[in-house]
Amino acid sequence: MEHSDVILQHRPMDDYILHILSGWQLDKDISAARANLLMSARSFSDLRFVVAACLLKIGDLYSKEGDSRRASSFYLMIANDKSSDDIGPYRTIAEERLRGLKER
């Protein structure tokens, strides 16, 4: 997972890594994908890029289903995370997606 963290640091929201973290469920079972992403975020809580990517993707999946309230709760976790400047790109993505939800 440390390799995934490095990849996600340099390639925010890398699709291949997110597919792995979702247990290859992104295109098959959204509910299972969300559960696997959440499990990955919790299991590897020390890997901040893995956590940020997982939480953003969970928000994206809720947004895709039209659940803006749940999507925004996951986006806010990243947008409000001031623990490290490293995740700045993830924070920016989360803020953009929050704005997009408000414009709907």
Q: What is the pLDDT of residue 85?
A: 85
What is the distance between the alpha carbons of residues 73 and 93, in angstroms, rounded to a whole number? Answer: 14
Q: What is the pLDDT of residue 58?
A: 98
CATH class belonging to 2-103: mainly alpha
Q: Which residue has the tokens 């490293």?
A: 86
pLDDT tens sequence for the chain (104 residues)? 999 999 999 999 999 999 999 999 999 999 999 999 999 999 999 999 999 999 999 999 999 999 999 999 999 999 999 888 899 999 999 999 999 998 87
- DSSP annotation string for the chain: -HHHHHHHHHSTT-HHHHHHHTTS-TTT-HHHHHHHHHHHHHHTTT-HHHHHHHHHHHHHHHHHTT-HHHHHHHHHHHHT--S-GGGHHHHHHHHHHHHHHHH-
Domain ranges for the chain: 2-103
